[in-house]
A = this chain, B = another copy of it.
């Protein structure tokens, strides 16, 4: 079978890292006999917006909705275009309209990556953050009253649906069950957020009954962030609401020093729509155009894409190649203390794939 991939580089360093991501994908595909076909799109970018006055063409869903996956660079350029136009006009639109209700990110201490935590070795930290990606705190219900008076207030509703909560929990429990430790941690704040969070807890308890082989626990988000720093070795799969998952999946990579190289998947598990794979970093206007961006976030996202497509071996070969490249000082980019440029680093990883 040939996989059809929609490639969207987007803005800034997105355009610089994607060629390296594609280079490595092609190397892995060749070694493992996987057939990939790439279609390139220029929308979801400031350039496109400048020409067309919108982030994407009206028929964007027809253009990319039938692909097997979407390989994405980065979007946004706050100095030129407000986030709510650029992000809500593309990335968040994908999540909602392609029902990518899982946001999946690894937290892994890699060899050769300087970690801000003391006394942790590669292997000590290795877990996944599973984030609800369509509802919760990112809602569009709310508004403002009595503007410019002392009575002024704004309100925004957090919304959790039975369907929305249950399906993300099911995904997280299944992931936990597939791993050696079979351990799930749920992020809550039911002692403070007194309506939605107790509901989340209730659904976790109900779902847990269907997965008797999975050990589970829960922490309030405040102490959970503390435990990411103090006891990152405690975790295996961590599941949270849209906001809590967002926080944990930046904090986790920060604890392992990998925030610049972390990958992510915005996944529609049923495959009714394509999933989006993108590096966690953004378009980074400050270093765009210099050829020094670290391509590993994009490359690693490519590996997640292959795994999602069912090509586990090919995906794993990329992650292994990343680990070996990171361990060799000279082949890394500046941000990690090496002296390779974006292309040199991408080529190094591609060469390591086997």
Contacts and interface: CB of A to CB of B under 8 A. Distances in A.
Interface of A: 83-84, 87-88, 115-119, 137-138, 140-144, 146, 149-163, 189-196, 199, 221-223, 225-227, 229-230, 242-243, 246-247, 249-251, 253-255, 259
Contact of A194 (B118, B140, B196): B140
Given A229-B116, A246-B222, A254-B225, A163 B150 contact: yes
11 contacts: A116-B118, A116-B229, A144-B199, A153-B162, A154-B195, A156-B196, A189-B246, A225-B225, A229-B229, A229-B255, A230-B254
B251 A229 contact: yes
Contact of A193 (B137, B163, B190, B193): B137
Contacts of A253: 226
A88 B254 contact: no
A84 B196 contact: no
A161 B145 CA distance: 10
Nearest to A282: B223
A226 B259 CA distance: 8
A151 B162 contact: yes
Chain B CB within 10 A, most for which of A154, A158, A221: A154
A196 B193 CA distance: 16
B154 A196 contact: yes
A199 B154 CA distance: 7
A88 B115 CA distance: 39
A157 to B, nearest CB: 5
Nearest to A226: B254
Given A225-B247, A247-B222, A259-B226, A161 B153 contact: yes
